[in-house]
Amino acid sequence: MTLHLAVALDGTGWHPASWREPGARPGELFTAGFWVDQLREAEAGLLDLVTIEDSFALDSDRADRAQGRLDAQLIALRVGPVTSRIGLVPTVVTTHTEPFHVSTEIATLDYVTTGRAGVRVKVSSRADEYALFGRREYGAESHESLFDEAADHIEVQRRLWDSWEDDAEIRDAATGRFVDRDKLHYIDFAGDHFSVRGPSITPRPPQGQPLVSALAHVDVAYRLAARGADLVFVTPGGVGRAGPTGDAEAILRQVRAEEASVGRQGDPLHVIGDLLVVLDDSADAARERLARLDAADGEELRSDARILTGTVGDVADVLESWHATGLAGARLRPAVTAHDLARITRELVPELQRRGLFRTAYDADTLRGHFGLARPADRYART
C-alpha cells in the first residue's frame, strides 16, 4: 500500500522568517494569485490534499513577522475552480462558529470542487480569540467540554450533510412538487452547547460526507478524532502542550485505544504524521538554511511537530519508517513555502515513487476516493 501525502499551507511557510526568503512574495500574501500558485504546485505533486491553517487571532505582535490572515474556507473556495484533483481542507474553529453555517460552507466547497472538500476542526484555546467574539469567558469551560462541543459540531455538520437524501429533488410536474419532502430530514440535534433543528439549506454534497480531520497531540483530541473524524494528524517525535507526544508507534496505540473506547464504527481513522521540513541538497545545507532563518527571526524555530532538517531522502526515510509502523502517511509543513514546497513536489514525490510508496498519477476524483473511502449511505435513508 502506498502512503498518503499532504501539505499544510500557512502563509509564506511555517518559519516566522519565511516571508523574507527569495521568492516568498510577501506583498502578495493577501491576493488570490499567491494561493492559486501554491495549489497548482501541490497538485502537480499529486498530493492527496492540502490543509489551510486558520485562526481568528493573530500569532504575533512583532512588526518583523508576517501578520494578517484570510478566512481559510474562502481561500479553499477561491482555488477550488482552478484545481481539479487535489483535496482542499480548510481549518475551522469550532468554538466560535455556527455548525449550521460551517456545514453548508463545506458542502458548498464540495459542490464547487465536485467532491474534493474536507474540513479540519480546531478547538479555540486562546484568550485573545474569545475576546474577538465576546460571547464566552475564556477558561470558564473545561478542556473536555470544549472538545465535546467540537464533537457535537462535527456531528451536526454530518447530520446536516445527510439531511437531504440524494434523490430528494424530484421535479414532479404532475403534482407541482420540486422535492419529495419525505426525503428531507430534521436532524433535531440537542447538545450542551447548542441545538440545531435542520434540515440543511444545501442538498447532500457530492461526496455525501466530506472528509473530517483534526490535529491531535493528547488523548482528549485523539478521542475527538475517534468520535467524529476520518483523518487525524498526529506529531510523532513532537511536543504538545502536555509534553512530548511519543513516537509513531506509541501514538498509534493511543489512537486505536481511543477508537476502541468510543466504540468507533466503520472505517478506522487514517493516522497521518506531521513533519515540519527544512529541505536542501545536503543535511549541512539544510541546517545552514535553518540557522540563517533563525538568525533573521532572532529566535530558534519551535514547533509541536518534529522538525526535520535534511534532504528529501531523509524525509523519505522517516516516512517509510512511519509507514512500516502503520501510519497512513504524512502531512508536511514547509518551513519556507517558496522553497520547500517545490522540493516536496519535485524531489520528494519522485523519490517516494521510486521507492514504490506513492502514486504516479491520480486514480480518484474525490478526496474520499484518494483515501479509498466509499461514498457512504445516507444515515436517514430508508432502503
Partner 1 sequence: MPKQIHLAAHFPGVNNTTVWSDPASGSHIEFESFRRFAQAAERGKFDFLFLAEGLRLREQGGRIYDLDVMGRPDNVAILQALAAVTEHIGLAGTVNSTFNEPLDVARKLATLDHLSGGRAAWNVVTSWDEFTGENFRRGGYLPKDKRYLRAQEMLSTAQALWDSWDADEVLADAASGRFLRHGDAGRFAIRSDQFDISGRFPVPRSPQGRPVIIQAGDSEEGREFAASSADAIFTRHAELEAGQEFYADVKARLAKFGRRPEDLKILPAATFVLGATESEAAENARQVQYQQVGPATAIAFAEQVWNRDLSDVDPDGPVPSFDPKTDDDVDSGGHISKGRASVRMYRDPVATAREWRELGEREGLSLREVVIRKNGRHTFVGTPQRVADTIDEFVQSDASDGFVLVPHITPGGMDPFVDQVVPLLQEKGSFRTEYEGATLREHLGLRPSPTTVAAVSVEA
Q: Quick check: 70 binds partner 1 (CB under 8 A)? A: yes
Q: Which of residues 226-285 bind partner 1 (CB under 8 A)?
A: none
Q: Quick check: 177 binds partner 1 (CB under 8 A)? A: yes
Q: Quick check: 167 binds partner 1 (CB under 8 A)? A: no
Q: Quick check: 164 binds partner 1 (CB under 8 A)? A: yes
Question: Nearer to partner 1 by C-beta: 181 or 253?
Answer: 181
What is 167-208 written as a DSSP string?
A: T-EEEETTTTEEE-GGGB----EE-SS-EE----SSPPPTTS
Segments in 302-371 forming alpha helices (H): 312-325, 342-343, 349-354, 367-370
| The amino acid at 154 | I
Q: How many CA atoms lie within 13 A of 214 on its CB side?
A: 28
Q: Total number of residues binding partner 1 (CB under 8 A)?
A: 81
State how far the Cα of 370 lies from the Cα of 118, in Å rounded to an integer.
12
Q: Quick check: 69 binds partner 1 (CB under 8 A)? A: yes
State how far the Cα of 152 lies from the Cα of 227, in Å rounded to an integer.
10
Q: Quick check: 192 binds partner 1 (CB under 8 A)? A: no
Question: Nearer to partner 1 by C-beta: 159 or 359?
Answer: 159
How buried is 324 (Cβ within 10 angstroms: 0-12 exposed, 13-18 middle, 19+ buried)? Answer: exposed
Q: Binding mask 115-154 vs partner 1 (x if CB under 8 A, - otherwise)? A: -------------xx-xxxxx-------------------
Question: Nearer to partner 1 by C-beta: 99 or 238?
Answer: 99
Indicate the pairing of strand 270-279 with strand 195-196.
unpaired
Helices (H) and strands (E) in the chain, counts: 12, 15
Segments in 205-303 forming alpha helices (H): 219-228, 248-261, 283-297
Question: Nearer to partner 1 by C-beta: 167 or 267?
Answer: 167
Q: Binding mask 302-321 vs partner 1 (x if CB under 8 A, - otherwise)? A: --------------------
Q: 242: Cβ–Cβ under 8 A, 6 or more apart, which residues? A: 217, 218
State how far the Cα of 77 lies from the Cα of 99, in Å rounded to an integer.
18
- The answer to whether the beta carbons of residues 332 and 279 sit under 8 Å apart is no
Q: Quick check: 175 binds partner 1 (CB under 8 A)? A: yes
In whole angstroms, the minimum distance from the beta carbon of 163 to partner 1 comes to: 9
In the numeric block, the cell 462541543 is attached to 149
For partner 1, the binding residue among 51, 91, 95, 202 (CB under 8 A) is 202
Q: Quick check: 292 binds partner 1 (CB under 8 A)? A: no
Q: Which of residues 49-68 bind partner 1 (CB under 8 A)?
A: 55-58, 60-68
Question: Nearer to partner 1 by C-beta: 169 or 294?
Answer: 169
Stretch that binds partner 1, among 32-40, 245-253, 330-338, 358-366 (CB under 8 A): 32-40
Q: Quick check: 360 binds partner 1 (CB under 8 A)? A: no
Question: Nearer to partner 1 by C-beta: 134 or 266?
Answer: 134
Question: Nearer to partner 1 by C-beta: 292 or 354?
Answer: 292
For partner 1, the binding residue among 40, 78, 287, 375 (CB under 8 A) is 78
For partner 1, the binding residue among 218, 257, 262, 296 (CB under 8 A) is 296
Indicate the pairing of strand 329-334 with strand 306-310.
unpaired
Q: Quick check: 197 binds partner 1 (CB under 8 A)? A: yes
Question: Nearer to partner 1 by C-beta: 205 or 334?
Answer: 205
Question: Nearer to partner 1 by C-beta: 245 or 366?
Answer: 366
For partner 1, the binding residue among 171, 241, 302, 382 (CB under 8 A) is 171
Q: Quick check: 158 binds partner 1 (CB under 8 A)? A: no
Distances from the Cα of 207 to the Cαs of 169, 197, 354, in angstroms?
17, 23, 32
State how far the Cα of 16 lies from the Cα of 336, in Å rounded to an integer.
9
